[in-house]
Amino acid sequence: MEQKTKIKAENGKQELVITRDFDLPLELLFKAYVEPGIVEQWMGTKVLKLENKKHGSYQFETTDPKGNKYGFNGVIHEFSPNQKITRTFEMENTPFDIQLEFLEFEKLTDESSKLNMHIVYRSVALRDQMLQLPFAQGINMAHNRLQDIVSKLK
Amino acid sequence: MNLRRDVFQAIADPTRRAILLLVASQSMTAGAIAANFDTARPTVSKHLQILTECELLKQEQNGREIYYHINAKKMKEVADFIESFRKMWDDRFNKLETIMKKYKSK
């Protein structure tokens, strides 16, 4: 089966491209990016601020199962409804430099649409580190689960 | 921290990527690998050392010669990093799609 979400990350480049086709009309796909209540649901994060306009900014806060809070924020540079969002993304309290994101929304048919997300990092090394993050988190999660099980055995 | 052991650091270099592609087709000696590059022999040796240190290449003694071959397991690990990143976005987007489908029918 063909994968719906594709990642293009060429070796030695400081950028990557995520593409995804949705069985959703373009307007609904775009709405999922601008309505705070909906963003909260699919991103699994709390939306503290989301100003959908040029020079607007956003602020998200995610809480892990242990109650630790993680902040994310950025500035919106370009906002064209149903077409394009250009924004920066910053993970607060981490050594990672901000990244630049170009989100392009495209109508395929009346009932389907496409998202093209182009992310530019400060360096090749940083991009590769970011690619490794979910992998590292996966290991942590497995480790926490193991700890839970072990502590129940006591 | 030994940066050289970082797999991504290793594959960030174009010469090292070319070496990996070359050796992927067949095991080769350092001399045979170096013959494919204009770069000085010691430079190629240095690249081979880095690739070996981060386990993308393995050495095998065959008589008097040392052959380099690809460590498929480690190469797959590199692919897995990207796969888990892809999976994370795929999960998010699936959720988005489900939520918006319900939204539509409301």
What ipTM score was computed for the predicted complex, to two decimals? 0.83
- With cut-offs at 50, 70 and 90, classify the pLDDT of residue B1: very low
- With cut-offs at 50, 70 and 90, classify the pLDDT of residue A24: very high
Of B14, B81, B97, the CB nearest to A24: B97
CATH architecture of B1-70: Orthogonal Bundle (1.10)
Interface contact flag, A132 B13, Cβ < 8 Å: no
| Every domain of chain B and the residues it spans | 1-70, 73-106
Interface contact flag, A4 B90, Cβ < 8 Å: yes
Report the pLDDT averaged over residues A118-132: 89
Quickly tell me which residue has 């993970």 as its tokens.
Answer: A91
| Degrees, nearest 5: CA angle A6-A8-A12 | 160
Report the pLDDT averaged over residues B2-12: 64
Say whether A1 sits in a helix, a strand or coil: coil
Interface contact flag, A28 B17, Cβ < 8 Å: no
- C-alpha count within 13 angstroms, C-beta hemisphere, residue B44: 19
- With cut-offs at 50, 70 and 90, classify the pLDDT of residue B24: confident
Report the pLDDT averaged over residues B8-26: 78
* pTM over cut 0.80: no
Q: How is residue A83 written in tokens?
A: 């077409």
Residues of chain B with C-beta less than 8 angstroms from the C-beta of A18 = 86, 89
